[in-house]
Amino acid sequence: MANILSAKKICKSFNGVQVLKDVEFDLRENEIHGLVGENGAGKSTLMKIIAGDYKLDSGELRIDGQIAKLRNPTDSLNYGIRIIYQEFNLVKTLSVAENIFIGEYPRTSVGLIDRKKMESEARKVLDQLGQEIDVTKCVRDISVAQQQIVEIAKAVRKNCRILIMDEPTAALNDQETVKLFELIRRMRDNGTSIIIISHRLSEQFELTDRITVLRGGETVGTVNTNEVSNDELIRMMVGRKLDEMYAHADRQLGDVLLEAKNLCVNDQVRDINLTVRKGEVVSVYGLMGAGQTALADALFGSVRAKSGQIFFKGKPLRLKSPVDSVKNGMGYITEDRKADGLLGNLSVLENVSIVSIGRYANPAGILSRKKEQTSFDHWVQRLNVKFGSKSQKIVSLSGGNQQKALIARWLSNDVDLLIMNLPTRGIDVGAKAEIYSLIDLLCKEGKGVLVFSLEMPEILGISDRIYVMCNGEITGEVTAAEANQELLLKYAVSKYLHE
Protein backbone atom coordinates (compact mmCIF):
# COMPACT_ATOMS: atom_id res chain seq x y z
CA MET A 1 0.00 0.00 0.00
CA ALA A 2 1.21 3.46 -0.83
CA ASN A 3 1.82 6.15 1.73
CA ILE A 4 -0.77 8.90 1.56
CA LEU A 5 1.14 10.98 4.11
CA SER A 6 4.73 10.82 5.21
CA ALA A 7 6.52 13.04 7.67
CA LYS A 8 10.31 13.10 7.71
CA LYS A 9 12.61 14.63 10.33
CA ILE A 10 9.95 16.93 11.69
CA CYS A 11 11.29 19.41 14.27
CA LYS A 12 9.33 21.93 16.28
CA SER A 13 10.28 24.18 19.20
CA PHE A 14 8.29 26.53 21.38
CA ASN A 15 10.22 29.34 23.07
CA GLY A 16 13.45 27.43 22.69
CA VAL A 17 12.05 24.18 24.07
CA GLN A 18 12.22 21.40 21.52
CA VAL A 19 8.93 19.55 21.46
CA LEU A 20 9.48 17.44 18.37
CA LYS A 21 12.87 16.16 17.24
CA ASP A 22 13.35 14.40 13.92
CA VAL A 23 9.94 12.78 14.12
CA GLU A 24 9.15 10.19 11.44
CA PHE A 25 5.59 9.21 10.74
CA ASP A 26 3.83 7.68 7.78
CA LEU A 27 0.24 6.91 7.05
CA ARG A 28 -0.85 4.41 4.41
CA GLU A 29 -3.93 4.53 2.30
CA ASN A 30 -6.88 2.79 3.88
CA GLU A 31 -5.41 2.26 7.27
CA ILE A 32 -6.27 3.11 10.85
CA HIS A 33 -3.09 4.29 12.48
CA GLY A 34 -2.76 4.66 16.24
CA LEU A 35 -0.57 7.27 17.88
CA VAL A 36 0.45 6.72 21.49
CA GLY A 37 2.86 8.21 23.99
CA GLU A 38 3.07 9.63 27.48
CA ASN A 39 1.75 13.09 28.36
CA GLY A 40 3.97 15.59 26.62
CA ALA A 41 5.40 13.07 24.16
CA GLY A 42 4.48 15.36 21.27
CA LYS A 43 1.41 13.62 19.85
CA SER A 44 -0.79 16.68 19.77
CA THR A 45 1.94 18.90 18.39
CA LEU A 46 2.59 16.49 15.53
CA MET A 47 -1.10 16.29 14.69
CA LYS A 48 -1.47 20.05 14.83
CA ILE A 49 1.38 20.39 12.36
CA ILE A 50 -0.39 18.00 10.01
CA ALA A 51 -3.64 19.93 10.49
CA GLY A 52 -1.85 23.19 9.68
CA ASP A 53 -2.38 24.69 13.14
CA TYR A 54 1.36 24.87 13.79
CA LYS A 55 4.12 25.46 11.28
CA LEU A 56 7.03 23.04 11.43
CA ASP A 57 10.54 24.41 12.03
CA SER A 58 12.28 21.90 9.77
CA GLY A 59 11.64 18.58 8.09
CA GLU A 60 9.25 17.72 5.31
CA LEU A 61 5.72 16.54 4.84
CA ARG A 62 4.75 14.63 1.73
CA ILE A 63 1.23 13.92 0.58
CA ASP A 64 0.92 11.34 -2.19
CA GLY A 65 4.69 11.55 -2.50
CA GLN A 66 4.64 15.27 -3.27
CA ILE A 67 6.09 17.80 -0.85
CA ALA A 68 3.22 19.61 0.83
CA LYS A 69 3.51 23.01 2.43
CA LEU A 70 0.96 23.25 5.22
CA ARG A 71 1.17 26.81 6.45
CA ASN A 72 -2.32 27.16 7.86
CA PRO A 73 -5.48 25.11 8.44
CA THR A 74 -6.83 26.06 5.01
CA ASP A 75 -3.84 24.43 3.28
CA SER A 76 -4.50 21.22 5.18
CA LEU A 77 -8.22 21.33 4.43
CA ASN A 78 -7.41 21.66 0.73
CA TYR A 79 -5.36 18.47 0.96
CA GLY A 80 -8.37 16.73 2.50
CA ILE A 81 -6.99 16.63 6.03
CA ARG A 82 -9.55 16.92 8.82
CA ILE A 83 -9.03 16.89 12.55
CA ILE A 84 -11.56 16.31 15.32
CA TYR A 85 -10.40 17.48 18.70
CA GLN A 86 -11.35 15.95 22.01
CA GLU A 87 -13.29 19.11 22.78
CA PHE A 88 -15.88 19.36 20.05
CA ASN A 89 -16.09 22.41 17.84
CA LEU A 90 -19.85 22.53 17.56
CA VAL A 91 -22.16 25.47 18.04
CA LYS A 92 -24.58 24.04 20.56
CA THR A 93 -27.41 26.41 19.78
CA LEU A 94 -27.49 25.59 16.07
CA SER A 95 -29.13 22.60 14.42
CA VAL A 96 -27.31 19.47 13.29
CA ALA A 97 -27.56 20.52 9.64
CA GLU A 98 -26.36 24.03 10.39
CA ASN A 99 -23.35 22.62 12.20
CA ILE A 100 -22.47 20.23 9.41
CA PHE A 101 -22.51 23.07 6.89
CA ILE A 102 -21.26 25.79 9.17
CA GLY A 103 -19.73 28.69 7.29
CA GLU A 104 -20.65 27.21 3.90
CA TYR A 105 -24.40 27.18 3.86
CA PRO A 106 -26.10 26.41 0.53
CA ARG A 107 -27.71 29.60 -0.80
CA THR A 108 -30.87 30.29 -2.72
CA SER A 109 -30.78 32.50 -5.80
CA VAL A 110 -31.41 35.62 -3.71
CA GLY A 111 -28.61 34.81 -1.31
CA LEU A 112 -30.60 33.50 1.61
CA ILE A 113 -29.77 30.21 3.27
CA ASP A 114 -31.38 27.34 1.41
CA ARG A 115 -32.56 25.42 4.45
CA LYS A 116 -34.24 22.63 2.49
CA LYS A 117 -31.17 21.89 0.45
CA MET A 118 -28.94 22.12 3.49
CA GLU A 119 -31.06 19.67 5.42
CA SER A 120 -31.36 17.16 2.60
CA GLU A 121 -27.61 17.34 1.95
CA ALA A 122 -26.91 16.89 5.65
CA ARG A 123 -29.18 13.87 5.68
CA LYS A 124 -27.27 12.48 2.69
CA VAL A 125 -23.92 12.83 4.50
CA LEU A 126 -25.30 11.08 7.56
CA ASP A 127 -26.80 8.35 5.35
CA GLN A 128 -23.41 7.69 3.84
CA LEU A 129 -22.06 7.26 7.34
CA GLY A 130 -24.95 4.91 8.05
CA GLN A 131 -26.22 7.15 10.82
CA GLU A 132 -29.66 8.42 11.62
CA ILE A 133 -29.93 11.77 13.40
CA ASP A 134 -32.69 14.34 13.09
CA VAL A 135 -30.84 17.11 11.25
CA THR A 136 -33.25 19.80 12.43
CA LYS A 137 -32.52 19.12 16.08
CA CYS A 138 -30.44 21.51 18.10
CA VAL A 139 -26.98 20.10 18.82
CA ARG A 140 -27.37 20.73 22.53
CA ASP A 141 -30.37 18.37 22.55
CA ILE A 142 -28.58 15.34 21.09
CA SER A 143 -26.32 12.89 22.93
CA VAL A 144 -22.55 13.24 23.13
CA ALA A 145 -22.17 10.20 20.88
CA GLN A 146 -24.41 11.84 18.30
CA GLN A 147 -22.42 15.05 18.59
CA GLN A 148 -19.34 13.00 17.80
CA ILE A 149 -21.10 11.75 14.66
CA VAL A 150 -21.97 15.33 13.72
CA GLU A 151 -18.30 16.25 14.05
CA ILE A 152 -17.41 13.36 11.76
CA ALA A 153 -20.13 14.31 9.29
CA LYS A 154 -18.82 17.87 9.27
CA ALA A 155 -15.33 16.56 8.60
CA VAL A 156 -16.21 14.13 5.82
CA ARG A 157 -18.80 16.33 4.10
CA LYS A 158 -16.35 17.16 1.40
CA ASN A 159 -13.10 15.61 0.29
CA CYS A 160 -11.83 13.98 3.44
CA ARG A 161 -8.82 11.78 2.79
CA ILE A 162 -7.14 11.89 6.18
CA LEU A 163 -9.14 12.07 9.40
CA ILE A 164 -7.34 12.71 12.70
CA MET A 165 -9.26 11.95 15.88
CA ASP A 166 -7.98 12.96 19.32
CA GLU A 167 -9.29 10.70 22.09
CA PRO A 168 -12.52 10.02 20.21
CA THR A 169 -14.01 7.76 22.89
CA ALA A 170 -13.25 9.94 25.90
CA ALA A 171 -16.88 10.90 26.42
CA LEU A 172 -18.55 7.73 25.14
CA ASN A 173 -19.86 4.64 26.92
CA ASP A 174 -18.95 1.12 25.83
CA GLN A 175 -21.89 0.65 23.52
CA GLU A 176 -21.36 3.98 21.83
CA THR A 177 -17.67 3.15 21.48
CA VAL A 178 -18.46 -0.10 19.65
CA LYS A 179 -20.71 1.79 17.25
CA LEU A 180 -18.09 4.47 16.68
CA PHE A 181 -15.49 1.81 15.90
CA GLU A 182 -17.79 0.25 13.34
CA LEU A 183 -18.16 3.63 11.70
CA ILE A 184 -14.42 4.25 11.70
CA ARG A 185 -13.76 0.85 10.11
CA ARG A 186 -16.41 1.51 7.47
CA MET A 187 -14.78 4.84 6.66
CA ARG A 188 -11.42 3.12 6.29
CA ASP A 189 -12.91 0.53 3.95
CA ASN A 190 -14.39 3.37 1.90
CA GLY A 191 -10.98 4.88 1.40
CA THR A 192 -10.29 7.30 4.26
CA SER A 193 -7.05 7.04 6.21
CA ILE A 194 -7.52 7.60 9.91
CA ILE A 195 -5.18 8.56 12.72
CA ILE A 196 -6.37 7.80 16.25
CA ILE A 197 -4.72 9.41 19.27
CA SER A 198 -5.72 7.54 22.40
CA HIS A 199 -4.41 6.70 25.83
CA ARG A 200 -6.61 3.66 25.87
CA LEU A 201 -4.32 0.92 24.68
CA SER A 202 -7.17 -1.59 24.52
CA GLU A 203 -8.81 0.57 21.87
CA GLN A 204 -5.59 0.84 19.97
CA PHE A 205 -5.37 -2.95 19.86
CA GLU A 206 -8.97 -3.35 18.87
CA LEU A 207 -9.12 -0.73 16.17
CA THR A 208 -5.79 0.06 14.58
CA ASP A 209 -3.74 -1.57 11.86
CA ARG A 210 -0.45 -0.02 12.95
CA ILE A 211 0.71 2.00 15.96
CA THR A 212 3.40 4.68 16.16
CA VAL A 213 4.95 5.40 19.56
CA LEU A 214 6.30 8.84 20.45
CA ARG A 215 8.42 9.55 23.49
CA GLY A 216 9.88 12.86 24.57
CA GLY A 217 9.27 14.35 21.14
CA GLU A 218 10.97 11.54 19.21
CA THR A 219 9.62 8.58 17.29
CA VAL A 220 10.35 5.32 19.06
CA GLY A 221 8.98 3.23 16.24
CA THR A 222 5.98 2.06 14.26
CA VAL A 223 4.68 -1.47 14.75
CA ASN A 224 2.00 -3.66 13.24
CA THR A 225 -0.73 -3.89 15.83
CA ASN A 226 -1.09 -7.66 15.60
CA GLU A 227 2.62 -8.20 16.20
CA VAL A 228 2.95 -6.32 19.49
CA SER A 229 1.84 -6.98 23.09
CA ASN A 230 0.55 -4.65 25.78
CA ASP A 231 3.80 -4.86 27.71
CA GLU A 232 5.96 -4.25 24.70
CA LEU A 233 3.96 -1.17 23.82
CA ILE A 234 4.23 0.22 27.35
CA ARG A 235 7.97 -0.39 27.34
CA MET A 236 8.26 1.54 24.09
CA MET A 237 6.28 4.43 25.56
CA VAL A 238 8.39 4.64 28.70
CA GLY A 239 11.89 4.01 27.40
CA ARG A 240 15.14 4.65 29.16
CA LYS A 241 15.72 5.45 32.79
CA LEU A 242 15.85 9.03 33.88
CA ASP A 243 18.73 11.16 34.92
CA GLU A 244 19.25 12.67 38.34
CA MET A 245 18.04 16.17 39.03
CA TYR A 246 16.06 15.29 42.09
CA ALA A 247 16.92 15.83 45.70
CA HIS A 248 15.83 12.96 47.86
CA ALA A 249 17.49 12.72 51.24
CA ASP A 250 16.67 9.98 53.74
CA ARG A 251 13.40 10.94 55.28
CA GLN A 252 12.13 10.51 58.81
CA LEU A 253 8.47 9.70 58.57
CA GLY A 254 6.21 10.84 61.40
CA ASP A 255 2.56 10.35 62.24
CA VAL A 256 -0.16 10.25 59.65
CA LEU A 257 -0.92 13.83 58.68
CA LEU A 258 -3.66 13.48 56.11
CA GLU A 259 -5.94 10.55 55.55
CA ALA A 260 -8.79 10.21 53.11
CA LYS A 261 -11.24 7.36 53.66
CA ASN A 262 -13.62 6.23 50.93
CA LEU A 263 -13.70 9.71 49.53
CA CYS A 264 -16.10 10.24 46.65
CA VAL A 265 -15.69 13.61 44.99
CA ASN A 266 -18.19 13.19 42.19
CA ASP A 267 -19.46 10.41 39.97
CA GLN A 268 -16.11 10.02 38.29
CA VAL A 269 -13.68 10.34 41.20
CA ARG A 270 -14.61 7.82 43.88
CA ASP A 271 -13.49 5.41 46.57
CA ILE A 272 -10.30 7.30 47.26
CA ASN A 273 -8.21 6.07 50.17
CA LEU A 274 -4.86 7.71 50.75
CA THR A 275 -2.53 8.83 53.51
CA VAL A 276 0.29 11.32 53.82
CA ARG A 277 2.67 11.20 56.79
CA LYS A 278 4.67 13.99 58.32
CA GLY A 279 7.98 14.31 56.53
CA GLU A 280 6.77 12.38 53.50
CA VAL A 281 6.41 13.23 49.85
CA VAL A 282 3.47 11.36 48.39
CA SER A 283 2.67 11.67 44.72
CA VAL A 284 -0.37 10.91 42.67
CA TYR A 285 0.27 9.92 39.09
CA GLY A 286 -2.21 9.44 36.32
CA LEU A 287 -2.69 10.18 32.68
CA MET A 288 -4.31 13.48 31.87
CA GLY A 289 -7.94 13.56 32.92
CA ALA A 290 -7.79 10.66 35.39
CA GLY A 291 -9.43 12.90 37.98
CA GLN A 292 -6.36 14.25 39.77
CA THR A 293 -7.50 17.87 39.93
CA ALA A 294 -10.93 16.98 41.28
CA LEU A 295 -9.24 14.95 44.01
CA ALA A 296 -6.77 17.71 44.87
CA ASP A 297 -9.62 20.24 45.03
CA ALA A 298 -11.62 18.00 47.33
CA LEU A 299 -8.70 17.32 49.68
CA PHE A 300 -8.18 21.06 50.03
CA GLY A 301 -11.88 21.72 50.37
CA SER A 302 -12.28 23.94 47.36
CA VAL A 303 -14.92 21.55 46.08
CA ARG A 304 -17.06 19.65 48.52
CA ALA A 305 -16.74 15.86 48.40
CA LYS A 306 -19.95 13.90 48.01
CA SER A 307 -19.11 11.37 50.68
CA GLY A 308 -16.26 9.89 52.63
CA GLN A 309 -14.01 11.31 55.32
CA ILE A 310 -10.88 13.35 55.57
CA PHE A 311 -8.71 13.19 58.69
CA PHE A 312 -6.07 15.82 59.28
CA LYS A 313 -3.60 15.51 62.15
CA GLY A 314 -5.70 12.69 63.54
CA LYS A 315 -8.95 14.63 63.68
CA PRO A 316 -11.86 14.37 61.26
CA LEU A 317 -12.08 17.50 59.17
CA ARG A 318 -15.24 18.81 57.62
CA LEU A 319 -14.10 20.94 54.72
CA LYS A 320 -16.80 23.35 53.73
CA SER A 321 -14.48 25.77 51.98
CA PRO A 322 -10.77 26.57 51.76
CA VAL A 323 -11.24 28.74 54.85
CA ASP A 324 -11.31 25.51 56.91
CA SER A 325 -8.29 23.90 55.32
CA VAL A 326 -6.22 27.08 55.51
CA LYS A 327 -7.10 27.51 59.18
CA ASN A 328 -6.02 23.94 59.87
CA GLY A 329 -2.66 24.32 58.19
CA MET A 330 -3.04 23.17 54.61
CA GLY A 331 -1.70 24.91 51.54
CA TYR A 332 -2.57 24.39 47.88
CA ILE A 333 -0.59 25.12 44.75
CA THR A 334 -3.11 24.95 41.93
CA GLU A 335 -2.73 23.50 38.49
CA ASP A 336 -3.45 26.77 36.70
CA ARG A 337 -1.23 29.38 38.25
CA LYS A 338 -2.68 32.34 36.43
CA ALA A 339 -6.36 31.48 36.81
CA ASP A 340 -6.38 30.18 40.38
CA GLY A 341 -3.19 31.34 42.03
CA LEU A 342 -1.94 34.77 41.13
CA LEU A 343 -3.55 38.01 42.24
CA GLY A 344 -2.61 39.64 38.98
CA ASN A 345 -3.16 43.30 39.90
CA LEU A 346 -1.28 42.96 43.14
CA SER A 347 2.41 43.25 43.95
CA VAL A 348 4.83 40.47 44.78
CA LEU A 349 4.65 41.43 48.44
CA GLU A 350 0.86 41.48 48.55
CA ASN A 351 0.73 38.14 46.76
CA VAL A 352 3.10 36.48 49.19
CA SER A 353 1.43 37.80 52.34
CA ILE A 354 -2.23 37.33 51.40
CA VAL A 355 -2.67 34.08 53.34
CA SER A 356 -0.56 34.90 56.38
CA ILE A 357 -1.71 38.52 56.53
CA GLY A 358 -3.56 38.07 59.82
CA ARG A 359 -0.21 37.34 61.48
CA TYR A 360 1.02 40.87 60.80
CA ALA A 361 -2.00 42.64 62.24
CA ASN A 362 -3.17 43.62 65.70
CA PRO A 363 -6.54 42.36 66.96
CA ALA A 364 -8.27 45.34 65.34
CA GLY A 365 -6.98 44.20 61.96
CA ILE A 366 -4.50 47.01 61.49
CA LEU A 367 -1.39 45.89 59.65
CA SER A 368 2.16 46.31 60.77
CA ARG A 369 4.12 47.00 57.59
CA LYS A 370 7.29 46.13 59.41
CA LYS A 371 6.16 42.66 60.44
CA GLU A 372 4.84 41.99 56.96
CA GLN A 373 8.08 43.13 55.38
CA THR A 374 10.24 41.04 57.74
CA SER A 375 8.31 37.87 56.96
CA PHE A 376 8.36 38.63 53.24
CA ASP A 377 12.11 39.22 53.23
CA HIS A 378 12.68 35.98 55.09
CA TRP A 379 10.67 33.83 52.71
CA VAL A 380 11.68 35.30 49.38
CA GLN A 381 15.28 34.97 50.43
CA ARG A 382 14.82 31.40 51.54
CA LEU A 383 13.00 30.44 48.35
CA ASN A 384 15.30 32.50 46.17
CA VAL A 385 12.47 34.43 44.53
CA LYS A 386 14.02 36.92 42.13
CA PHE A 387 12.28 40.25 41.50
CA GLY A 388 13.08 43.88 40.83
CA SER A 389 11.08 45.60 43.52
CA LYS A 390 8.59 44.27 46.07
CA SER A 391 5.93 46.59 44.70
CA GLN A 392 6.23 45.26 41.16
CA LYS A 393 3.23 43.32 39.92
CA ILE A 394 3.59 39.58 40.29
CA VAL A 395 2.57 38.89 36.71
CA SER A 396 5.78 40.54 35.51
CA LEU A 397 7.90 37.78 37.09
CA SER A 398 9.00 34.64 35.25
CA GLY A 399 6.91 31.50 35.69
CA GLY A 400 9.44 29.94 38.04
CA ASN A 401 9.59 33.00 40.28
CA GLN A 402 5.80 33.30 40.30
CA GLN A 403 5.60 29.71 41.44
CA LYS A 404 8.20 30.21 44.15
CA ALA A 405 6.32 33.31 45.35
CA LEU A 406 3.13 31.26 45.57
CA ILE A 407 4.94 28.60 47.59
CA ALA A 408 6.25 31.38 49.85
CA ARG A 409 2.63 32.46 50.28
CA TRP A 410 1.85 29.16 51.99
CA LEU A 411 5.11 28.64 53.82
CA SER A 412 4.84 32.06 55.44
CA ASN A 413 1.58 30.80 56.95
CA ASP A 414 3.49 27.86 58.42
CA VAL A 415 1.48 25.11 56.71
CA ASP A 416 1.83 21.49 57.79
CA LEU A 417 0.72 20.02 54.50
CA LEU A 418 1.28 21.40 51.04
CA ILE A 419 -0.81 20.00 48.20
CA MET A 420 0.82 20.76 44.86
CA ASN A 421 -0.97 20.17 41.58
CA LEU A 422 1.49 20.17 38.67
CA PRO A 423 4.07 22.11 40.69
CA THR A 424 6.53 22.50 37.83
CA ARG A 425 4.14 23.24 35.01
CA GLY A 426 5.45 25.87 32.62
CA ILE A 427 8.66 26.66 34.47
CA ASP A 428 12.24 26.27 33.38
CA VAL A 429 14.62 23.49 34.36
CA GLY A 430 16.56 25.57 36.86
CA ALA A 431 13.47 26.59 38.80
CA LYS A 432 12.24 23.00 38.63
CA ALA A 433 15.35 21.73 40.38
CA GLU A 434 14.95 24.47 43.00
CA ILE A 435 11.37 23.43 43.67
CA TYR A 436 12.40 19.79 44.01
CA SER A 437 15.04 20.59 46.57
CA LEU A 438 12.57 22.84 48.38
CA ILE A 439 10.10 19.97 48.63
CA ASP A 440 12.90 17.85 50.05
CA LEU A 441 13.70 20.54 52.60
CA LEU A 442 10.08 20.88 53.70
CA CYS A 443 9.96 17.17 54.44
CA LYS A 444 13.09 17.40 56.54
CA GLU A 445 11.21 19.94 58.66
CA GLY A 446 8.44 17.43 59.22
CA LYS A 447 5.90 18.85 56.79
CA GLY A 448 3.97 16.63 54.43
CA VAL A 449 3.83 17.20 50.68
CA LEU A 450 1.24 15.74 48.33
CA VAL A 451 2.20 16.18 44.69
CA PHE A 452 -0.08 15.64 41.72
CA SER A 453 1.95 15.28 38.57
CA LEU A 454 1.76 14.07 35.01
CA GLU A 455 5.53 13.72 34.70
CA MET A 456 6.79 10.29 35.65
CA PRO A 457 10.46 11.18 36.03
CA GLU A 458 9.52 13.93 38.45
CA ILE A 459 7.32 11.62 40.48
CA LEU A 460 9.93 8.87 40.63
CA GLY A 461 12.55 11.41 41.59
CA ILE A 462 10.91 13.09 44.54
CA SER A 463 8.39 10.67 46.06
CA ASP A 464 8.46 8.30 48.98
CA ARG A 465 5.20 6.74 47.97
CA ILE A 466 3.13 6.95 44.82
CA TYR A 467 -0.55 6.48 44.17
CA VAL A 468 -1.67 5.90 40.63
CA MET A 469 -5.07 7.04 39.39
CA CYS A 470 -6.96 5.80 36.42
CA ASN A 471 -10.44 6.80 35.40
CA GLY A 472 -11.21 8.43 38.75
CA GLU A 473 -10.00 5.66 41.01
CA ILE A 474 -6.75 4.80 42.70
CA THR A 475 -5.55 1.73 40.88
CA GLY A 476 -2.19 1.26 42.52
CA GLU A 477 0.04 2.26 45.39
CA VAL A 478 3.80 1.73 45.23
CA THR A 479 6.74 2.72 47.38
CA ALA A 480 9.70 4.58 45.96
CA ALA A 481 11.75 1.39 46.10
CA GLU A 482 9.32 -0.63 44.00
CA ALA A 483 8.37 2.09 41.60
CA ASN A 484 9.40 2.25 37.98
CA GLN A 485 7.88 3.79 34.92
CA GLU A 486 6.54 0.51 33.51
CA LEU A 487 4.71 -0.24 36.74
CA LEU A 488 3.21 3.24 37.02
CA LEU A 489 2.00 3.27 33.46
CA LYS A 490 0.54 -0.20 33.85
CA TYR A 491 -1.58 1.04 36.77
CA ALA A 492 -2.36 4.28 34.97
CA VAL A 493 -3.95 2.44 32.03
CA SER A 494 -5.24 -0.56 33.98
CA LYS A 495 -8.89 0.42 33.62
CA TYR A 496 -8.45 0.92 29.91
CA LEU A 497 -6.92 -2.51 29.14
CA HIS A 498 -8.92 -5.35 27.75
CA GLU A 499 -8.97 -8.83 29.31
Q: How far apart are CA 187 and CA 61, in angstroms?
A: 24
Greatest distance between any 2 Cα atoms in the chain = 81
Nearer to other proteins by C-beta: 178 or 343?
343
Interactions with other proteins, residue window 150-189 (CB under 8 A)? none
Q: How far apart are CA 183 and CA 116, in angstroms?
A: 27
The type of residue at 475 is: T
Nearer to other proteins by C-beta: 65 or 358?
358
Interactions with other proteins, residue window 317-356 (CB under 8 A)? 321-323, 325-327, 332, 334, 339-346, 350, 353-355
Q: Dihedral, CA atoms, 94, 99, 103, 109, nearest 10 degrees?
A: -80
Instruction: Tell me how far the alpha carbon of residue 202 is from its chain's centroid.
Output: 20
CB of 350 to other proteins, least distance (A): 7
The burial of 114, by beta-carbon neighbours within 10 Å (0-12 exposed, 13-18 middle, 19 or more buried), is given as middle
Nearest-5° Cα angle at 319, 363 to 362: 5
Which is nearest to 454 in space by CA: 483, 497, 420? Answer: 420
Nearer to other proteins by C-beta: 242 or 357?
357
The mark string for 367-386 relative to other proteins (x by CB under 8 A, - otherwise) is x-------------------
CB of 302 to other proteins, least distance (A): 6
The mark string for 22-41 relative to other proteins (x by CB under 8 A, - otherwise) is --------------------
Q: Under rule CB under 8 A, how many of the chain's residues touch other proteins?
A: 29
Which is nearest to 260 in space by CA: 473, 24, 16? Answer: 473
Does 404 contact other proteins by CB under 8 A? no
Nearer to other proteins by C-beta: 249 or 323?
323
Nearest-5° Cα angle at 283, 376 to 498: 150
What one-character-per-residue DSSP string does 25-73 give? EEEETT-EEEEE-STTSSHHHHHHHHTTSS--SEEEEEETTEE----SH
Q: How far apart are CA 61 and CA 73, in angstroms?
A: 15
Does 46 contact other proteins by CB under 8 A? no
Which is nearest to 8 in space by CA: 83, 62, 74? Answer: 62
Question: Which of residues 110, 112, 366, 481 is near other proteins by CB under 8 A?
Answer: 366
CB of 291 to other proteins, least distance (A): 19
Paired with 315 in beta bridges are 312
Question: Which of residues 102, 178, 288, 361 is near other proteins by CB under 8 A?
Answer: 361
Nearer to other proteins by C-beta: 221 or 344?
344
Does 302 contact other proteins by CB under 8 A? yes
Nearer to other proteins by C-beta: 102 or 323?
323
Count the Cβ atoms, other than its own, within 10 Å of residue 355: 19
CB of 245 to other proteins, least distance (A): 29
Nearer to other proteins by C-beta: 238 or 352?
352
Q: How far apart are CA 31 and CA 205, in angstroms?
A: 14
Does 113 contact other proteins by CB under 8 A? no
Does 300 contact other proteins by CB under 8 A? yes
Which is nearest to 37 in space by CA: 195, 223, 216? Answer: 216
Interactions with other proteins, residue window 407-436 (CB under 8 A)? 409
Nearer to other proteins by C-beta: 23 or 449?
449
CB of 362 to other proteins, least distance (A): 10
Binding site for other proteins (CB under 8 A): 300, 302, 321-323, 325-327, 332, 334, 339-346, 350, 353-355, 357-358, 361, 365-367, 409
